[in-house]
Structure 1
Amino acid sequence: MNDTFFDKYINEEITYDEFTKQVSLIYESETSVDYNLLGLSVSEFELYKRLGKDALENIISARKHKAEIIQKWKKFFREEIAENHRKNTLKLEHLKEFNLNPFLDNYKANFLLGDSSAKSKATALIYARTLGSSINTTFGTNLQKFCSDILSGYASTTSGIDIEFEDFIDGRRKYCQIKAGPNTINKDDVKTISDHFIGVKNLARTNNLNIGFNDLIVGVFYGEEKDLSGHYKKIKKDYPVYIGQDFWYRLTGDSSFYKELTAAIDEVASEYDGRELLNTVINKLADEIEKAEI
C-alpha cells in the first residue's frame, strides 16, 4: 500500500509546504476530500484546517499516545485488576471474610443451586463477592489512581489540572481534570474541582491567557452521559463534562478509540480462566462452613 501524504510528511519525505500543496490538489470542497490519500481522518483534517502545521504536530503526538495508552491499559489491567482480583479471591476461603446472614444465606444457596448444602452456601457467597463487589471495588479504586498515569503524555504543569490537550472537535486547548467513572466523585469533589478551575481562570487573567469557560473540563474515563451522577451534573452547570467515547474522541481524534480500549480489555480477559481457582476456594470455604455447622 502506498504511503499517504501525511505518512510522507511524518517520514520527512516532503516538507510542510509540499504537504499543503498536495492537500490543495486532492480536494475542491469538503465533500470531495480523499481522506485515504491524504492520510488524515475527518476530525484530524478539520483540526488541520483550523490550526495548520500545529495541528499536524498534535495529530502525530495523539497517534503516538494512542498506542502508549493501549499498552499501558493492558498492562494495568493484568497487573492491577486481574492480579488483585486473584489475591482477593484467595482470601475468601476463610469464613472470617464474610458477614453471614442466617436469614438469607440458605435462601441464596437454594435460589442459586437448589439446596442449602455447605458447598452451595459457599458457592453463593463466593460468586456474589468475586463477581460483584470485589472486582468492582478493585476496578474503581485502582482506575482512579491510574488515570493520570495512563495519560501522562498529556500531563499538565498547571496547578489543579491533570492533563492538557488540543480538542479535536473544536480545536481549543483544554485544561482537564480526569475522573474514572460516572459515579466516582462525591460532594466534596465538586467544590475541589470548581476551586481548581477558578484558580486556572485567575491565572489566565494574570497572564493574559485565552482560556474560556468551555476550555476547563472534566474528562470521565468510561460510561455514558445519561449515567453521570448528580455531582457531575452540578459541575456541568458551569463546566463541560465529557465522558466515555466523547472524551476519548476529543482527546485522540479517533471516534472508535473508546471501542479500542474495550477491545484491548476483551483481549486481556481471554487470557484468564478462573474456574479452577474458584473451585478450590469454594471447597475450602465449604469445609469451614461444615465444621462450623452453619
Structure 2
Amino acid sequence: MNKISPSQINEYVSKNIETFHENRLKSLEGTDLHGLLKKKNPYLFKAKNLITAHELVTSFLDAKISSSEEEIFGEFLENLALFVAQKTKGAAKSSAHGIDFEYSSSKTRFLVSVKSGLNWGNSSQWKALRKDCENASKILRQSKHTGEVKHILGICYGRAKTTMKHGFILQVCGQNFWYLVSGDKSFYTKIIEPLGYRAKELNESFLAKKTQLINKFTGDFISEFCDRDGKILWEKIVKYNSGNLTREDEKELK
C-alpha cells in the first residue's frame, strides 16, 4: 500500500470542500416556499406549537437544509474515500452500478460501495445493493484473470463493528473504514481539520442568503396562509400539503 501525504489530503479537502459549500448554497437558492410546504409534515410543526410565521418558515427551511446538507456532504465524503483509495491502493472508479470503486490485493478483487452514514438504506435499497453486487461479481468472474471477489460496504462515520451484512457484504465503519483505505489508524481524525478551510467565510455567505429567504418567505407566508389578524391558517396549510381527494377517488375508496 502506498502512503498518502498530509499535503495531498489538505489540498484535496481544501479544494473540494468549496464545492460542498457551493452546492449547499445552490440547493438553498433553488428553494421556494410552496415546495417547502408540500414536502414537509405540517402535523409535526403544529405539534411543536409554532405560532408565528417566522418560526414556522424557519423550521420548514431548517428541516430542508438539514436533509439536503447530509446528502451533499455524504457525496463529498464518498469522493474523498475514492481519492484516498486511488492514492494508496491504486483503486479505480467502478463502472458497475452501485459500486463506487475497485482495487486488487494479492489475487482478490475488492468492490467497494461507500455510504456516508449507517442509516442509508431500507430493505428495498439493501436488495438493490445485493443485486448490484451479484451482477458486478458475475461480470468479473467471466475473466480468467479474476480470482476471489469480495464486497465491502464502507461507512464514513459511526462506531459499528466490522461485520458481514446480509450474508454478502462486509460492512466497515468509521475509523476502520478510513484505516482500510489509507493504512493509517489516525486518518479519520486527520481529515477533520482541513474541513474548516474558509468555513467561516463560506458559511457567512450561506447564512446571509438564508436570512434573505426567511424574510421573503415569511412575508409570502403571511400573505397566503395567515388571516387578517396574523393567525396561521393551519387547515389551509394541511389542505395545500395533503388535499388530493378527487370525485373518482371518493367513489373508489368509499
TM-score, normalised via structure 1 length: 0.58
Do the aligned partners of 2:151 and 2:168 also contact (CA within 8 Å) in 1? no
1:188 to 128, 131, 156: 128
**Which deviates further from its counterpart, 151-160 or 133-142?**
151-160
User: Against the structure 1 CA distance between its residues 217 and 269, is the aligned structure 2 distance closer, same or farther, given a 3 Å change threshold?
Assistant: farther
User: Against the structure 1 CA distance between its residues 285 and 195, is the aligned structure 2 distance closer, same or farther, given a 3 Å change threshold?
Assistant: same
Structure 2 matches for 1:6-155, cutoff 5 A?
Answer: 58=1, 61-64=2-5, 67-79=7-19, 81-92=20-31, 94-99=33-38, 103-108=43-48, 110=50, 116-130=51-65, 132-140=66-74, 144=78, 148=82, 151-153=85-87, 154-155=90-91
2:137 to 187, 193, 197: 197
The structure that has the greater radius of gyration is: 1
Query: Which ranges of structure 2 fall in alignment gaps of 5 or more residues?
Result: 227-254
Do the aligned partners of 2:158 and 2:173 also contact (CA within 8 Å) in 1? yes
Query: Which ranges of structure 1 fall in alignment gaps of 5 or more residues?
Result: 1-57, 111-115
Higher relative contact order (CA 8 A, sep 6+): 2
TM-score, normalised via structure 2 length: 0.65
Q: In the alignment, which residue of structure 2 is the partner of 1:257? A: 187
Q: In the alignment, which residue of structure 2 is the partner of 1:163? A: 102
Is the helix fraction higher in 1 or 2? 1
Q: How many residue pairs align between the two structures?
A: 213
Q: In the alignment, which residue of structure 2 is the partner of 1:233? A: 165
Cα RMSD (Å): 3.6
